[in-house]
């Protein structure tokens, strides 16, 4: 059985969470399998070993992004919700189902590296709003997003297409 199918088999569906009609994809069952989690990190690390930084979107993007960054011995940059980073930041708003939210990045996240190649990481891409905001932030501070990597893609919500329209490659291990 290939890696994508083993990962898919490891993800638990939680019906009606966080609200009725949603089938939540619970990745804690994957994270609990040390061997499989390690294989997922190896899969992405091998493909993106030549980036300069890995950026992870709060919060599950931190899990995968930091592990990939450590594996390839590159810096990890957190993208956090407004007000959670301690130094000078810039922010980007994005639309939610009802309303808006904001994410931030430190203005000096890429140190003095000019045009660093950046891998953006999150656990799941749905509508693509958060990833789109993250890409804009990374670009605003001089980063070149070479790819956006996700464990899971919900294809019926077209978020990956939105990211591709920005000129960024999308890599999803598992698709629903």
Q: Which residues are catalytic?
A: 60, 97
Q: Note whether 94 and 132 are within 8 A (CB).
A: yes
* Cis check: omega of the bond before 113, within 30 degrees of 0: no
Q: Which residue has the tokens 């290939």?
A: 2
* Cis check: omega of the bond before 86, within 30 degrees of 0: no
């Amino acid at each position: 059985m290939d890696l994508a199918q083993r990962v898919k088999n490891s993800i638990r569906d939680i019906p009606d969470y966080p609200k009725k009609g949603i089938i939540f994809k619970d990745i804690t069952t994957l994270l609990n399998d040390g061997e499989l989690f390690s294989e997922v990190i190896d899969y992405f690390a091998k493909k993106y070993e030549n980036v300069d930084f890995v950026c992870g979107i709060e919060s599950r993007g931190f899990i995968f992004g930091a592990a990939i960054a450590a594996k390839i011995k590159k810096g990890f940059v957190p993208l956090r919700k407004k007000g959670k980073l301690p130094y000078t930041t810039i922010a980007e708003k994005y639309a939610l189902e009802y309303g808006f939210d904001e994410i931030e990045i430190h203005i000096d996240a890429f140190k003095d590296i000019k045009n660093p190649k950046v891998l953006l990481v999150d656990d799941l891409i749905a509508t693509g709003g958060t990833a789109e905001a993250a890409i804009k932030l990374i670009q605003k501070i001089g980063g070149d997003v070479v790819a956006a990597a996700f464990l899971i893609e919900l294809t019926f919500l077209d978020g990956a297409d939105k990211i591709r329209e920005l000129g960024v490659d999308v890599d999803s291990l598992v698709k629903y």
